[in-house]
């Protein structure tokens, strides 16, 4: 259900070791999200491992219905993405891997992922809990109800925890109502 194999010997040095040795931050190995071609996550993982780059590809099991049978398959938890730990000076070597589209960042500049976020996902996939991919929903986002008696209703999400508080508004009269529904019943518009 999981796959977080790592190549022996990380590329670069850890941030702590770099600070002690006086190595510039650019040389430290950090986690980056790699955008991959469609359905190439596992191929990218394997090719990066061949190049001795530390890789993390969280997987989950899902059922696929074919004409003659159902089959359980492993799929990327975050479709289109694979995580790799490398020094930014190794960016070209990572980008030259077939199937890698880009290193995710802002304004063309690669942005590292917080190590705690990677560790949280690792703990999740190592646990006995059942997990599935889910779109990120944030307070203030416009969403649509996809199941239940409110299916098709659009509103603004004001809180997300065990239940979602959805505000339904009539803007012309500047009035609104709020309803609590299950988070799995809404999607981002």
pLDDT of residue 101 exceeding 50, the answer is: yes
CB atoms within 10 A of CB 131: 15
Among 3-12, 29-38, 179-188, where is mean pLDDT lowest? Answer: 3-12
Contact 109, 48 (CB under 8 A): no
Average pLDDT over residues 78-107: 96
Count Cα neighbours of 72 within 13 Å in the Cβ-side half-sphere. 4
Is residue 19 very low, low, confident or very high in pLDDT (cuts 50, 70, 90)? low
**pLDDT score of 2:** 46
pTM exceeds 0.85, yes or no:
no
CATH topology (fold) of 15-126: Alpha-Beta Plaits (3.30.70)
pLDDT of residue 42 exceeding 90, the answer is: yes
Average pLDDT over residues 33-50: 97
Q: Give 64-88 pLDDT, tens digit per residue.
A: 888 888 999 999 999 999 999 999 9
Is residue 111 very low, low, confident or very high in pLDDT (cuts 50, 70, 90)? very high
Residue spans per domain, the chain:
15-126, 142-188
CB atoms within 10 A of CB 136: 7
Phi first, then psi, for residue 185 (nearest 5°) are -90, 0
Among 18-27, 87-96, 141-150, where is mean pLDDT lowest? Answer: 18-27
Q: Report how far apart, in Å, the C-alpha atoms of 69 and of each of 39, 61, 76, 148, 169 are.
A: 22, 16, 22, 29, 46
**pLDDT score of 110:** 95
**pLDDT score of 9:** 38
Strand-strand pairing, 154-160 and 100-103: unpaired
Mean pLDDT of the chain: 83
pLDDT of residue 26 exceeding 70, the answer is: no
**Apex 87 CA angle, 85 and 93, nearest 5:** 90
pLDDT of residue 17 exceeding 80, the answer is: no
Encode burial over 161-186: b for 16+ CB neighbours within 10 A, e otherwise: eeebbbeeeeeeeeeeeeeebeeebb
């Amino acid at each position: 259900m999981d796959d977080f194999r790592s190549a022996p010997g990380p590329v670069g040095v850890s941030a702590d070791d770099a600070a002690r040795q006086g190595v510039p931050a650019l040389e430290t190995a950090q986690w980056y999200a790699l955008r991959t071609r469609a359905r190439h996550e596992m191929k990218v993982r394997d090719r990066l491992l061949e190049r001795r780059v530390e890789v993390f590809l969280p997987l989950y099991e899902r059922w696929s219905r074919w004409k003659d049978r159902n089959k359980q398959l492993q799929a990327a938890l975050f479709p289109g993405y694979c995580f790799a730990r490398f020094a930014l000076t190794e960016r070209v070597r990572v980008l030259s891997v077939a199937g890698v589209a880009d290193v995710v960042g802002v304004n063309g500049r690669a942005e590292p992922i917080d190590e705690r976020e990677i560790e949280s996902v690792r703990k999740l996939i190592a646990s006995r809990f059942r997990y599935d991919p889910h779109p990120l929903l944030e307070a203030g986002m416009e969403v649509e109800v996809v199941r239940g008696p409110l299916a098709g209703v659009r509103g603004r999400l004001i809180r997300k925890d065990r239940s979602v508080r959805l505000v339904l508004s009539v803007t012309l009269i500047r009035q609104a109502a709020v309803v609590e529904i299950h988070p799995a019943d809404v999607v981002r518009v």
